[in-house]
Amino acid sequence: MIKKSKIHVKKGDTVQIISGRQKGEIGVILKILTKTSQVIVKNLNLKIKHVRKNQEEESGKIINFEAPIHSSNIMLYSIKNKTKSRYKIKVNENNEKYRILHKTNEIIK
């Protein structure tokens, strides 16, 4: 049985890539793959796939798609202050949890 790991980001978060070929690039998370601890970021880590034709009438294609990035290679990003940061969890009076960036004290939605 494969154990799913907890990932520090959520779908829709703005993140910055901190290592690899596209270090410093900023994007929004489209999908989270919990079994492999990877995320797919919009318009980043683009790969090309050549698809063979299936029938005589169809033609071959070249498809661009976003490949997954490991979650350890990204950090949450504040667009307002243009900084990357870790986050902490706070609880308000109504016992609702929310995330706050360490460096800027900005609330993440």
* 50 occurs within a structural domain: yes
Average pLDDT of the chain is: 93
pLDDT in tens, 39-88: 999 999 999 999 999 887 788 999 999 999 999 999 999 999 999 999 99
* 28 occurs within a structural domain: yes
Quickly list DSSP for the chain.
Answer: -PPPPP-S--TT-EEEE-SSTTTT-EEEEEEEETTTTEEEETT-SEEEEEE---SSSS--EEEEEEPPEEGGGEEEEETTTTEEE-EEEEE-TTS-EEEEETTT-PEE-
* 59 occurs within a structural domain: yes
Q: How confident is the model at residue 1 (pLDDT cuts 50, 70, 90)?
A: low
Closest C-alpha among 47, 44, 41, 37 to residue 7: 37
* 33 occurs within a structural domain: yes
Total count of domains within the chain: 1
* 56 occurs within a structural domain: yes
Contact 54, 21 (CB under 8 A): no
* 21 occurs within a structural domain: yes
* 3 occurs within a structural domain: no
49: containing domain: 14-80
